[in-house]
Amino acid sequence: MLRHVHPLLGADLLRALMAMGHGDEIVIADANFPAYSQGVPVIDMPGATATDVAEAVLGHLPLDTFADAAAFRMAVVGDHNHVPEICQTFQDQIVRLSGEFIIAPVERFAFYEQAKRAFVIVRTGEQRLYGNLILKKGVLSVSL
């Protein structure tokens, strides 16, 4: 164990977060997401919900302030304007931990295409539908 590191951030996920560069993306996916067919590394966290993983990741990952959008959710098929409860929870977490970023809805198949370019996918045990989130890493300014 380490101090000040969220307990869900095990060695593999912490290593991935540290290795990501500005503009790289991480997918936090529900249990239904076709993670392994996307062709990028997958970290399995079947005992965690997507919102728990988002909470852990957002506590340490700066979001990209230079991009038009730094957070993306899968849009509901047939009703792109509907925001599922889990996506509203993601939005609340982002505002609380990262600032006034808005989650952009992305059509289902476009979301899969974006996931294929991600740095890593974290597949959770999330059972709620549309529990999928993509976060774009920003820069962290450090004063020495």
**Is 4 one of the annotated active-site residues of the chain?**
no
How far are the Cα atoms of 68, 123, 133, 141 from residue 29, in angstroms, in the given order? 22, 5, 6, 29
| Catalytic annotation, pick one of 22, 36, 80, 92 | 22
For 19, phi and psi rounded to 5 degrees? -80, -20
CA distance 81 to 116: 24
Which listed residue (24, 44, 52, 112) is catalytic?
112
Largest CA distance in the chain: 51
Active-site hit among 30, 64, 68, 82 = 64
SS3 106: strand
Mark whether 64 is an active-site residue.
Answer: yes
Q: Which residues pair with 74 in a beta bridge?
A: 106
Six-digit token pair at 143? 């004063």
Which residues are part of the catalytic machinery? 22, 64, 112
